[in-house]
Structures are given as C-alpha cells and as structure tokens.
Structure 1
Amino acid sequence: MANRVVLAPMAGVSNAAFRLTVKEFGAGLVYAEMISDKGLITRNKKTLELLYIDEREKPIALQIFGGEKETLVEAAKFVDQYTNADIIDINMGCPVNKVIKCEAGAKWLLDPKKVYEMVAAVVDAVKKPVTVKMRIGWDDEHIFAVENAQAIERAGGSAVAVHGRTRIQMYEGKADWDVICQVKENVDIPVIGNGDVETPQDARRMLEETGVDAVMIGRAALGNPWMIYRTVHYLETGELMPEPSVREKIDVCLLHFDRLIKLKGEYIAVREMRKHAAWYLKGIRGNGMVRNAINQAETAEELRAILNNVAAQWEEQEKPEFQAV
C-alpha cells in the first residue's frame, strides 16, 4: 500500500469508473462494492459485471457477503481464481435488512464463533489475502468488536477495517473511535479505522487517537476525490491543500461520466451519474436548479451541456446565477 488512505466500499457507488477516478487522486487501496456470494455461484450477469477491475486501480480489495459457509467459500474461490483482485474482503458490517435477513453482513457481529469459522474456512480455501470489514457491534448492548477482531486474526485474516458505528446506528450518530482504539490494542494484524473522517484533519486525528494503521474514507469522497489527495498530502507534509475550483470539479465529473459510459453504456450511465453530479456540485451556489436540470437529462450530450454551462458561468463571474441550457 502506497500510503495510509483507503477508499471504502459503497454499495451502488464503488464501481470501476468511480474507483479509478478516486485512485488517480492517490488512494493507497480501494475497495469494490459488496458482491453477493449466491450471485457469483449462480453466475448472475449483473453480479459478474461487478467483478471488473481496471489494472490502474490496483491494489484493490473485492468484497463478498453471505451467511452460509459453503456458498461464501465457493464465492471466495471464484474471486481467487478468476479475478485480478489483490485482496478478498468479507463484509461483516452491512446494516440493511435484506442482507441481515440472509444472515449476512452485520448479522455476524453477534457471534464471534461464527466469525472465526467463516473467516477460517475462506482463508483455507484461497491463496489471496483475506480481510474483513466490520462494525463495532450490533447495538450498544452488543459490542463485540475486540472479540470479533481477535476471531478474525485467529482465523488467518490479514487485516480488519472497523467502522465505528453499530448496526442499529446505520449511518447516523457519532462513530465511536474509542472502540476502534480498543481493537487496535488487542490484535496484531493491521487495523483500518472508518467513520467520521470528513476532513484531512480528521484523518490525522484518527491516526493519532486510535493508533490505526490506515484510515478509510467513504461518504466524504463522494463527488470529492480531492478529499483523498488532500488527506494524503496533509498526512505526509502537514500542508492543507486548497479546495478545487468549480472548473476542476466539473472536469473530473465529466471524466468520471465518460468512464461510466464505457462501463455501463449511455442509458444507464446518464441515470447513475445524476447522483454523482449532485455530489460534485455540492456547495456550489445555485446547485438546486442545476440538480433539477440534471435529473431531467436523458442523454450524455444533455448532461455534458448542463455541466459545462455551470463551469462557464463560474468562470465568467464570481457568483453567477444558473441559467438552464
């Protein structure tokens, strides 16, 4: 790993187009969005498409999830043999109901014994390093982060990423860095801290307060790959780089869009890019009107025209009003 800044796996977001764009801003390691073990075993077309990795993204961790040992192992073996991923990561943190109902994701958090058995079975079946991304616990009464991390280590896991929230918290409330620190103090494998890293200063503070080996950035990188670059630079030099200009934001947004078109085709890319464009435009005056226009765009040409119009107006005057194309 080139540095201590890691891009988190985010469902519906962390595809190859997004990952490569963020990787070029200096991420030391990127994670792909979680992939269903049963989808891999049944060779579901959409699931298999999630396995695509551009060599320029590496090193990369492909993340799988499942609730049954046999299917999880088979999925891991498939990733091991047929993909160019560097790491196989097991999801032990997804809080959504449809994953929990499959006895997968955050449901594992309640049973350190199952954690050991599942991770050990995967480690024994593959050659690639196996890591786990988990939450600190199910709820405030069931925080088994240390026990689960120790189980992962005993099972042969190479590293663990810890999101400082419980399953019940979902993505709300404050991440508990104290528990992340406890995990780091009780295992010898590398620990990656995740949760509430919204600025480069937060990243340094997490490293100092918890002792983790690396920081994982998720939502703060949405529409903002500069967060990765600025964090890497700040950790290495202590210098805080300036925020990007509107033109820079639009140019990278358009690059991301072109990659998404190549990956998924124009029709799907236009619709998926709507949310990404809104993230790139966050903080720009008049972005509400721009978002409305973007959400009505049907073609790549229309979307590009809207975005270029925004950049042109900001270049002409300091605080422009958005005018629809």
Structure 2
Amino acid sequence: METKLVIGGVEVENPVFFAPLAGVSIAAVRRLFRRLGAALTHTEMISSAGLLYAGTKTWRMTECTDGERPLVLQLFTGDADSLCRSAERCLQSRSYAAFSINMACPMPKVHKKGAGSRLLQDPDVAFAMVRELKKFGLPVWPKIRKIVPDGREYRLDTLQFAEGLLAAGADNVTIHGRTPQQRYEGKADKSEVVRAARRFEGRITASGDVYAPRDVAFYLDNGCAAVLCARGAIADPFMVVQSLRVLGYNTRMSDGEPSLEERAEILIGFADDLYRLHGERVALVLLRRFLAGFFRGKAGTAEFKRTLASAKDWDSAYRILCDWRSYFERGFM
C-alpha cells in the first residue's frame, strides 16, 4: 500500500505515529522510529517558558535532524501568549509539520503551572490557545485525555472538549483514554476514544494501551485517523513494523520476523545516533532502556542486558554492543 494520507493537514505515508514522550522522544529515538516505519514523530513536550527564558538545553530540544521529518513540535504552557511567543521563536529558525499543544500531561509539576491536563479544567483558555496558534499557518494538534465531568473542576466531557478544540481551528485532536486522575495507571478507555473518532470522522488520533498490532488495528478499524505508539513501542520497537504489515503497508525490512542481524544492525545505528547527537550520559541511559525490546523473547537477552548495564563508559558499552552475537544461541540466528 503506497497511497499517501493527509491527516490533520499533514501528508503522511501511513497512520502509525511515534508519540511525544518526556525524556525519550529525542532526535535519535525519532530517527529510529522513522527508520522502523512510523510515518511521523513528535518532539518530547517542551516548555514555552523554557524556550523564552531558559538557556541552550531547552532550545536544543526543538532541533530537527535529517531523517526524522515530518516532525510535530509539542509545546506546553498555561496561556496563549507564551505559547505563541515560543512558537514564533521556534519558527524563526526551525520548520515543523504541525504544532501539538500538550493538554494531557497529568504530572503535578506541569499541572501547577496551569499546563498539561490542567487545561481540561479551563476550556476557554485551551480553545484560545488553538485559535491563536492557528495564526502561524501550521496545523494545530492538541492532545487531551478522557474527561469525566464533575460539575466543579471538569465542566465538559471528552467529546464536548474535543468539539470545542475543533471549532477553535484544531486540525486533529489526539485523545488518550486515561483520565488525569489515572495518570499512567489502570487501563485506557478505548471506547471513549472510539466514540470521539466516530463523532468527528477523520479528525481524532488515538493514544493509550497500544502494545501490539491488534491495538493499532482496533483503533483504526473503529474510525481513528491515526494511532500514537508510546510505551508499547519502547517495550518492542518492532511492533511498529509488525503493525504496518498487518495494515497492509510496505515496510523497510525483510518479510517475516526480523532476524537477529537486522535487529542488531538497527540497534547499532541507533546507538551511533544516540552518542553522536546526545552524548555519553544520554546514550548510555537510553541504550540500556531500549536494549531488551530489540531482542524481546530471544534467549540471551537477559545476559546481554546485564552485561551492558555494567559498562562504565561509552567505549565499553559499544564494545559489548558490537559483540552481540556472543550472547545469543545459534538457533535464533
């Protein structure tokens, strides 16, 4: 299947996207998931205040390297003014496929700033953010969570809030099926996401409990325009490849189960990107985090992971990585 899609005003190869994940969705990781076939990636959520008042570290989070476009820039803040000023600053030297506004993060340090899921309690502010950000000419994709009205803090339900965002000019709304109170615990309410997708045809991206190709297919079969892969893709990066095959899309890998050689080749390329783009500390942390997922279910993975965890520096870690064959049984080759 080669037909291009237009989702939320952005032309993409398929409806499988990589999500904005704090501390994870950095350039090397985005490049990895583009190589595996994800049609689009997001930056991690970036503070508008940090872009306006902080230093180089926050600014570097907005960079886009070759091999990761189309890229969506996700910003978080509690007001339309700082949102627009930070977006304008980014556009002076960067280009993106779309803007995402984080209205979903439930963490207290974000919530207390009036940002993230706190905006679900302030629909007027949230809708104003969309209207103002649209003035820059890029598609706007707010991300929200399931909302259960209580007559006090939460006045609108999920569909009412999504409708308000779309009426304000949002091109696509991503809905995560957990409430702010759940944070990242319990199950995502997929039926709530599907309800919105059926109501607002072609304008809803699904998020929540995407751990296998069947989860991707479920959302798409029930009306969602696209699906965000997040924690499930970290646990098994090749889930993206498998999902695309189930959906009938061509992939950039050989048919069937990826061989150990293919997995190792992609992992080493990922490691090279991590070190080159982000330095030793970040490279070691994320390489250890992703390693088990690359060889999920393969005999020898646990020993490989333990040995890599013992590496004290990048040179040692890279030698262990390049010696991957010694950790696996010949029968899996």
Does TM, scored on the shorter chain, surpass 0.5? Answer: yes
SS at match of 1:152: helix
Residue from 51, 60, 65 that aligns with 2:76: 65
Q: Relative to 1, partners in 2 of residues 1:92 and 1:251: Cα closer, same or farther, differing over 3 Å?
A: same
Q: Which runs of 5+ in 2 are unaligned?
A: 1-11
Report the counterpart of residue 139 of structure 2 in structure 1.
129
Q: 1:237 Cα deviation (Å)?
A: 6.1
8 Å Cα contact 1:138-1:168 kept in structure 2 = no
Matched letter for residue 270 of structure 1:
L
Kept after mapping to 2: 8 A contact 1:86/1:128: yes
Residue equivalent to 2:207: 194
2:19, 2:42 within 8 Å by CA — same for their partners in 1?
yes
Distance 1:243-1:267 versus aligned 2 partners, 3 A rule: same
Q: Give me the whole-angstrom Cα distance separating, in 2, the residues matched to 1:8 and 1:144.
A: 24
Q: How does 1:161-240 map to 2 (within 5 A)?
A: 161-187=174-200, 190-208=203-221, 210-222=222-234, 224-236=236-248
CA distance in 2, matches of 1:227, 1:313: 23
2:55 pairs with one of 44, 51, 56: 44
C-alpha separation between the residues in 2 aligned to 1:286 and 1:69? 51
Q: What is the CA-CA distance between 1:216 and the residue it aligns to?
A: 1.4
TM-score of the superposition, structure 2-length normalised? 0.86
Name the residue aligned to 1:313.
327
Counterpart of 1:264?
278
Whether 1:85 aligns to 2:109 is no
The aligned amino acid for 2:192 is V
Amino acid paired to 1:298? K
Aligned-pair identity in percent equals: 31
Contact residue 148 and residue 158 of structure 2 kept, 8 A:
no
Deviation at 1:33, TM superposition (A): 0.7
- Judge conservation of contact 2:104–2:116 (CA < 8 Å) in 1: yes
Is the partner of 2:316 in helix, strand or coil? helix
Q: Which residue of 1 aligns with 2:9?
A: none
1:180, 1:193 within 8 Å by CA — same for their partners in 2? yes
Q: Aligned with 1:62: secondary structure?
A: strand
- The total of aligned residue pairs comes to 317
Q: What is the identity, as a one-letter code, of the residue corresponding to 2:227?
A: V
Cα distance in 2, alignment partners of residues 237 and 72 from structure 1 = 36
Deviations 1:34-56 (A, max 9, x none): 10001111142111111111232
Secondary structure, aligned partner of 1:222: helix
Question: Considering only aligned residues, what root-mean-square deviation do their CA atoms show, in Å?
Answer: 2.6
Please tell me the residue identity of whatever aligns with 1:107. R
Structure 2 letter corresponding to 1:117:
A
Quick one: which of 168, 172, 177 aligns to 1:155? Answer: 168
- Which residue, 16, 31, 35 being the options, matches 2:27? 16
Q: TM-score, normalised by structure 1?
A: 0.88
> How far is 1:319 from its partner?
7.8
